[in-house]
Structure 1
Amino acid sequence: MTAVAETGTFAVRDGGSRPLAGTGALLRLALRRDRVMLPLWVLITGGVITSAPNSLRTLYATAADRTELVHTMATNGSLRALYGPAFGDSVGALVAWRYVTFGALLTGIMSLIIVIRHTREEEETGRQELLSSAMVGRRAPLTAALLTAFVANAGVALVIAAGLAGEGAGGALALGLVIGGAGMLFATMAGIVAQLTESARLAKGLTAAVLGAAFVMRAAGDAGTDDGSSVLTWLSPIGWAENMRSFAGERWWVLLLFAGAIAVQCAVAFNLAGRRDIGMSFLPTRPGPASGRLATVGGLAWRLQRGSVLGWGVGLLATGVMFGAITEGATELVGDSERTRQIIERMGGQQGLTDAFLAGMVGMIGMVTALYVVQSVLRLHGEETGQRAEPLLAAAVGRVQWAAGHLAIAFGGAVLMMLLGGAGLAIGYGRDLGPILGASLVQLPAIWVLGGVAVLLHGAFPKAVAAAWAAAGISLGLGWIGPALDLPDAVMNLSPYAHLPKLPGPEMAWTPVLLLTAIAVALVAAGLAGFRRRDLSA
């Protein structure tokens, strides 16, 4: 007993005097835990961008076509809001124009997930307290998390620089660095937020909100100017990335903005990490009322998820407005390009270019809504692994009854999300509210199928719940880049969205809608059956 006490005392004292002790071990552990997720993020993000030159050469085969595109972008504010201004007419410059914003968003999302997963989430589950009882310094977990994010972002930058080197080594390196730099900026921001909040869910939500605000500021700034010079653009890190002007006379000094912001945020995060105890935060959760007001498990589920519902709803409404506003501009951009017309028709059907574009945008909103449903369903998994479900189920509450509260918010919330997204699309477009709302609701069976996959994994295969994100991500990826890459139907049909009728349009096919709905019901039933039989936290 004495030896154990002395060992524990030595470990704490050593961790206090050596704040980075154990960083290497924690880094190896983080990389091992993320050995599947990190390569997928890196290869998908880098692969999408490096595959773009072939598609762009097919779409804009001549220098005259590319020059006309740049001219069109200079006069089309709605498309600049979505993609940013085009600074050059080379294939490399068009790749940067088309993908720098979305590359920065993807690396930002990847980075905030990594950092919060290995900091606040570890504390919330109690694992960090166990690790810190050994020779682990106070700042080691944050350091290991940021290093893990650095490895991932460096991988993305390397893939982009190597894959686009044929378009110009300098431009490829610049594009890779700014996309990786944007990821690291949001990684260090997540490191700060992880010290401020007690909840990993809240930390992810706040960092994602800042990421969304950066996109909105960049879009608002670029809508008004065609050269990236707006103050709003320069207030956004995503605006910094586009103003690097990769493949169009690179501004290497922009990298200093990223380096300075990352350094400052690192200093703040490490200072905060050294001043608080494990499990604590600088913004503690506000205590609830003295007497309870939640009479049902459904009411508790709503209380837990109402913030997420509000955030997703506002975001999808704004996304719909933005997509609707660019509809006319997008159809003008097609012009005489038969290849672009084919891509839009593959996304949205053969019913006319404008309706096809609207159908494609409705489909994109549906694919994004699937991410909300997966997140909402997997809140069940978070409550279970966080040991918060067991006290409820120890009372007179059945497992299916408890799960039903969260599933009602997930699957019912999908209806609300699609109505908001469709309403935003109609508002931005300025007409066709009824047909667009109808087209939005037709997306629900595919969304519910992906939600059903999440229920099945949580109920029957809880150790594989991360595959639910993979299923939703693959569907989103196929819908986003599949038409441009002209992927074969056998590949596109892996997504449930590929089987839905393309609306708005003249025809409504009920058979695939009903079949997908039946599949979703079967998946949910199988997941609940598995959940009833297995042990909790198994």
Structure 2
Amino acid sequence: MNAFAGTGKLIRLVLRRDRVLLPLWVALICAIPVVFVGAFTGAYPTAEARQHYYETSVHTRAFTVVYGVLNGSSLGELVSWRSGFVTFMVALFALLTVIRHTRTEEEAGRRELVGATALSRHADLAATLIVTCGAVLVLGVASALALIGQGLPAAGSLALGLGFTMAGCVFAAIGAVTAQLTTGAGGARAIGISVLGAALILRGVGDIAAQSGGGPAWVSWLTPLGWAEALRPYSGERWWILALAAGAVVALIVLGVALSERRDLGAGMFHARRGPAAAGPRLSSPLALAWRLHRGPLISRIAGLAVVGLVGGAMSASLGTLMDNSGAAAREALARLGGPGTLVDQFLAPMMTMLCLVSVGFAIQAALLLRDEERDGRAEPLLATPVRRLRWAGSHFVFILLGPALGLIAFGTAAGLAHGLNTGNVARELSRLLAAALVQLPVVWVFTGVALALFGLLPRRVAGTFAVAMVSLLFGWVGLELQLDQWVINLSVFEHVPKLPGGVMTATPLIVMTVVAAALVAVGLAGFTRRDIPTT
């Protein structure tokens, strides 16, 4: 049989299943750079104004970590710089798409049924990669054409669009590798997202080192996100980097195929540990089972946030000096993002926003586990017993809602202790940073409520909560930095959180968001009790 027999039919199947999700992602991401063009043109209409913005932002390390190196003050360079986070979104989209159509299908048993027909072993992987890479290619070309239509140079626009495509294709290939490593889609997603997070950190470390003129600037070349930045759209494009990325994609695909040939269908390269033949008394209730399913990811996330908080708190003592040397313009931009307070407070406040976004991602992942239990047929046997729907779903809701709270507490406590030891006032800094972390919880609960409402009403659209959170962050952070109208900024849920540490604590928006989250959870529970199970 041909090594890729049946690939064409599976391509049509993937396109049929993703007929809504793929166009939505492509349209959303394509629109973001165009929005940046309009925002920069409106807020900084002259070359002098853009030069002032460049001088404001180029030395701000927080911006460098999130967006990358700012190479110049032209409109194209500013748009390309602000699109650095868009590259991250494209990579995440490609990674999750490949895992969903490979490891998730295999875990659910559908891959085995399809494989019993006249299909080759690698047809599903080939079809998924072709569709995903084709989608990010369409995304890159459409972004380039949209920017050219806005009057930006064609070469730079094409380089920016192909940078999106390059990052998407590389992480699609990484998803093909991680899908071979574990027996579960959750483990594959965790490995892939960890690689993506490490890529973002390496790119940030390398960019800061390059700006400061010392340190390991070369580490940014270890990450595909750094390659997309190194294309230098609108500032002397370096097309040869595309060949480097193409070589990496080919090598990763070959590795994924080789790993697939060396494992059994349904198995992974990392073998799952066998459990006992019969459940013990500690698994005698839905709550105990939910704890067993959530405890691994929950403990690892809490530990990870504690480590990040410890490192961030320990570094905070040197941030005041660093920001003080950035000039008045940079401090002004930092104040817009971080609010009142000391320079360290103004740096820590945006960090809390990023912490909130990460916690939102963790909460949505926990909600996806609930969906996986239903889709993979494990919920139906439980609900055939005297266990009621509300009891089963509520047992998972406990950990989905309380998990982010424990993670925020861990981060705030670790950061407060480390920062307090630096300043010599542990009690003060611990209370301040713990409060700054906990005020993010109502926002996390709002997006968790969105995910749970979708689980109850439109379970196949739960993953769309990621897009809702990204758009909300975009309205707030970009709107503040570009000084857009307040009504645009207010569309972001993140904007209604008190800017702590350093700002004024306001309880009203936190109460409103908590009530909204509770209403969304109630809607999700009501919808779940009335719909069919399972919904595939």
> Considering the TM-score relative to the shorter chain, is it more than 0.5?
yes
**Alignment correspondent of 2:298:** 309
**Alignment correspondent of 1:257:** 244
Deviation at 1:205, TM superposition (A): 0.9
Cα distance in structure 1, aligned partners of 2:235 and 2:275:
55
**Alignment correspondent of 1:235:** 222
Question: Secondary structure of the equivalent of 1:167?
Answer: coil
Query: Is the CA contact (8 Å cut-off) linking 1:327 and 1:358 kept in structure 2?
Result: no
Cα distance in structure 2, aligned partners of 1:397 and 1:483:
49
Query: Is the CA contact (8 Å cut-off) linking 1:42 and 1:153 kept in structure 2?
Result: yes
Change (3 A) 1:155 1:327: farther
Cα distance in structure 1, aligned partners of 2:147 and 2:250:
28
- Structure 1, unmatched stretches of 5+, are 1-16
2:139 is matched with which residue: 146, 152, 156? 156
User: What TM-score comes out, normalization by structure 1 length?
Assistant: 0.84
Cα distance in structure 1, aligned partners of 2:40 and 2:323:
16
Change (3 A) 1:204 1:423: same
Query: Is the CA contact (8 Å cut-off) linking 1:20 and 1:137 kept in structure 2?
Result: yes
Query: Is the CA contact (8 Å cut-off) linking 2:181 and 2:270 kept in structure 1?
Result: yes
Cα distance in structure 1, aligned partners of 2:161 and 2:192:
22
**Alignment correspondent of 1:115:** 98
Change (3 A) 1:462 1:183: closer
Cα distance in structure 1, aligned partners of 2:30 and 2:296:
33
User: What TM-score comes out, normalization by structure 2 length?
Assistant: 0.84
2:207 is matched with which residue: 199, 222, 227? 222
**Alignment correspondent of 2:426:** none
- Structure 2, unmatched stretches of 5+, are 424-428
Number of matched residues? 518
What is the 5 A alignment of 1:507-518? 507-518=504-515
1:43 is matched with which residue: 27, 36, 60? 27
- Is 2:325 aligned against 1:335? no
Deviation at 1:306, TM superposition (A): 2.8
Deviation at 1:262, TM superposition (A): 0.5
**Alignment correspondent of 2:442:** 445
Letter in 2 for 1:120: R
What is the 5 A alignment of 1:99-248? 99-100=83-84, 102-165=85-148, 166-226=151-211, 230-248=217-235
Query: Is the CA contact (8 Å cut-off) linking 2:339 and 2:503 kept in structure 1?
Result: no
Deviation at 1:415, TM superposition (A): 0.9
Query: Is the CA contact (8 Å cut-off) linking 2:22 and 2:135 kept in structure 1?
Result: yes
Deviation at 1:485, TM superposition (A): 5.5
Change (3 A) 1:239 1:463: closer
Change (3 A) 1:179 1:471: closer
Query: Is the CA contact (8 Å cut-off) linking 1:59 and 1:337 kept in structure 2?
Result: no
What is the 5 A alignment of 1:492-503? 492-503=489-500
Query: Is the CA contact (8 Å cut-off) linking 1:59 and 1:339 kept in structure 2?
Result: no
Letter in 1 for 2:202: M
More displaced stretch, 452-461 vs 478-487: 478-487
Question: Secondary structure of the equivalent of 1:288?
Answer: coil
Deviation at 1:441, TM superposition (A): 1.4
Deviation at 1:90, TM superposition (A): 2.8
Change (3 A) 1:236 1:469: closer
1:386 is matched with which residue: 376, 384, 399? 376
Cα distance in structure 2, aligned partners of 1:500 and 1:235:
36
Change (3 A) 1:497 1:182: closer
For each residue in 1:353-378, what CA deviation from the matched residue of structure 2 results, as whole angstroms up to 9, or x when unmatched? 87566444423422332222222123
Question: Secondary structure of the equivalent of 1:287?
Answer: coil
RMSD: 3.4
**Alignment correspondent of 2:270:** 283
Question: Secondary structure of the equivalent of 2:407?
Answer: helix
2:288 is matched with which residue: 289, 299, 306? 299
